[in-house]
A = this chain, B = another copy of it.
Amino acid sequence: MMPPRTPGPMKTAADGDLIRRINRHRVLSEIRRRGTVARVDIAAATALSPATVTTVTGELLDAGLIEIAEDEEPAGRGTAALSARGRPRVLLRLNPGACHVAGVKIAMHRVSVWISDFAGNLVRSTVVPVRANRQPPEVVADLVEDALRQACAESRLALAEIAGIGLGVPGFIDFSAGICHWSPVFGEGPVALRALMTERLGRPVFVDNDANLATYAELWRGAGQGHDNFLVVTVEHGVGMGAVVGGQLYRGSKGLGSEFGHTKIERGGAPCRCGQRGCLEAYVADFAILREAGRLLFLDGLALGDLEDPFEVQRGLDRLAEMARAGDAEVRRIHERAGEILGLGIANLINLFDPALVILSGERMQLYEFYERAMLRAARDNVLSAHRDRTPIRVNRWGDEVWAWGAAALALHELHLPPLEARRAV
């Protein structure tokens, strides 16, 4: 039997609409990625025709999402600034005022809130020092709501004017479900954090692992720009990780993404807070360093109290840093061992992910000088020879901007999902 090969039109309205939305997203992403860019360069990077780019950027200008950059190159400055027809090239960029988003990071010793514009620029930040460890969800929600309302008031914005909120938490987060399975912040898990906060605030909230915020920041503004595959390892109270694969943050099949801190580095090794043994965190996390150094600190006159108390932890780490700087060989060995094990873990990641680079980030980079050499040597010694000296490990020494940018990027990404991703999410 012959197939009914009705020769239909090549493209229906539905296809046209989908293609238009995909093109719009590609152009917007390219402008976001580049900061300031000419139409001709958008066309080259997206493989769209110049005519299509002109149409799409026209629509985006009309919608107020992008604007003409005031600091465009003056005409006649050189051939690079001129189009083929000799006209000055118009440079486009995101319109910062298109909307505002908020980013929130809950750490064990403070809640930070940032208000950012559509271009990801920081408008206002508020940091509230708290003991956010092992708290009931309602208490944490109170802290977040109060800090957010304060930041909005200081920015002269109503909460209703915030288009979306990116919320970063340490621990095991199911991004898709918005559930926090476990976090040192909460007494117990799981906590349906996205539902809780969305109801509280009446705005779209996106809950993510804090390491993923740092990864978004690196992808949009940091050393990850222009790389399709790279990893971010965060060393804070614990050890976190985010992976970019194919230019996108990797979410995994259940929304749990990549968890690095509890991969095993030593069979039957040191006990970890998670109840298992030989986890990377059991050698590298704050509690592991302080456990190892407890006797030395005591001999030095510092008796630490509850190691779950973030201020006690900070007191201990600060003293250890002082002792290391003063040349205490035993304290240095503790840092070096942590560095060696972190390097071994990073070598495993390089073997498994073949990333273009690994970026180290997080608050504990303040101690980097003490473990840098041991870490780099262990990483180098334990990767495949084909990787050796070909996968740079870089340290991000930013301060809190990394979280502010990351939280803004999370909220903006989720609010402006590419059409095919949004389809899948429905």
Contact = CB atoms under 8 A, between A and B. Distances in A.
Interface stretch (A28-36, A298-306, A353-361): A353-361
Contact of A12 (B51, B229, B260): B51
Given A8-B51, A8-B55, A181-B385, A90 B3 contact: yes
A81 interface: no
A245 B256 contact: no
Interface string A326-367: 000000000000000100100111011111100000000000
A9 interface: yes
A6 to B, nearest CB: 6
Contact of A54 (B8, B14, B68, B382): B8
A255 B1 CA distance: 46
A241 to B, nearest CB: 8
A50 B245 contact: no
A205 to B, nearest CB: 20
**Chain A residues touching B, range:** 35 or more
Interface in A1-51: 1, 3-12, 14-16, 18-20, 47-51
A356 B252 CA distance: 8
Interface stretch (A129-137, A142-150, A212-220, A261-269): A261-269
B263 A348 contact: yes
A387 interface: yes
B58 A7 contact: yes
Nearest to A48: B15
A423 interface: yes
A373 interface: no
A174 interface: yes
A245 to B, nearest CB: 5
Contacts of A341: 267
Contacts of A260: 351-352
B15 A253 contact: no
B18 A47 contact: yes
Nearest to A245: B245
A396 interface: no
A264 B265 contact: yes
A15 B54 CA distance: 14
18 contacts: A3-B58, A4-B90, A7-B54, A7-B55, A11-B51, A15-B48, A172-B384, A228-B253, A245-B245, A252-B353, A252-B354, A253-B355, A256-B386, A258-B353, A262-B384, A267-B341, A276-B382, A348-B348
